[in-house]
Amino acid sequence: MSARIATVSRDTNETQIKVSVNLDGEGHLRCETGVPFLDHMLDQVARHGMIDLDIHASGDLHIDDHHTVEDLGITLGQAFNEAIGDKRGIYRYGHAYVPLDEALSRVVIDFSGRPGLYMNVEFTRAAIGSMDTQLFWEFFQGFVNHARVTLHIDNIKGFNAHHQAETIFKAFGRALRMAVAEDPRMAGQMPSTKGSL
């Protein structure tokens, strides 16, 4: 399998974002978004997904974090879609359960070519640090629309909002790692009876 690396830029009146992704990386993150808690969550994705991410985002944070978080999800999704290529020889599906103390989350992903987000999370606080918890949905919606994946996210239990979010992002990283991995039994075949994804 050839190198699965992509760099995508997004430049609007609200944000300027550049994302580089290496799906076969070592879990390294270089990240500057201006949204500290989001940086912490992206570190979980890189580390637990064994994906190298280089992210630079500048947005209209003087208004709020919304545009930066949403547009970062969009740009990251575009980078994944480009890096994954035609999807031959990958596992395609990935899933993970991740606990953190009292919290437990499950994430399931399918590189189906069909965008769909199904997120069942009731955060116990409206904000974590300065980040509005509603923005996690915006991030994942942007990602699925542009990575063209089906993504199910369930927070099964938890009362600490930080723990809820962290289990989600760790499980997201682990599910990505499983889904994009090479399947030796698939040996370059398309993981679909349709012949394309």
Q: How many CA atoms lie within 13 A of 191 on its CB side?
A: 22
Q: Are 70 and 45 in contact (CB under 8 A)?
A: no
> For the whole model, what pTM was predicted?
0.98
pLDDT at 1: 59
All structural domains of the chain with their residue ranges = 5-180
Dump pLDDT digits (tens) for 113-165: 999 999 999 999 999 999 999 999 999 999 999 999 999 999 999 999 999 99
Dump pLDDT digits (tens) for 44-92: 999 999 999 999 999 999 999 999 999 999 999 999 999 999 999 999 9
**For residue 140, how many other CB atoms are within 10 A of its CB?**
23
The domain 5-180 having CATH identifier 3.30.200.20: the answer here is: no
pLDDT at 2: 80
Give the C-alpha separation, 191 to 34, whole Å: 38
Closest CA to 179 of 71, 83, 72, 42: 83
Give the C-alpha separation, 153 to 105, whole Å: 7
> Quick one: the chain helix, strand, coil %, rounded to 5?
35, 30, 35
In DSSP terms, 96 is beta-bridged to: 107
- Residue 27, φ and ψ in degrees, nearest 5: 90, 25
Mean pLDDT calculated for residue range 4-21:
98
Give the C-alpha separation, 178 to 161, whole Å: 26
Closest CA to 131 of 25, 43, 40: 40
Six-digit token string for 46: 């890189």
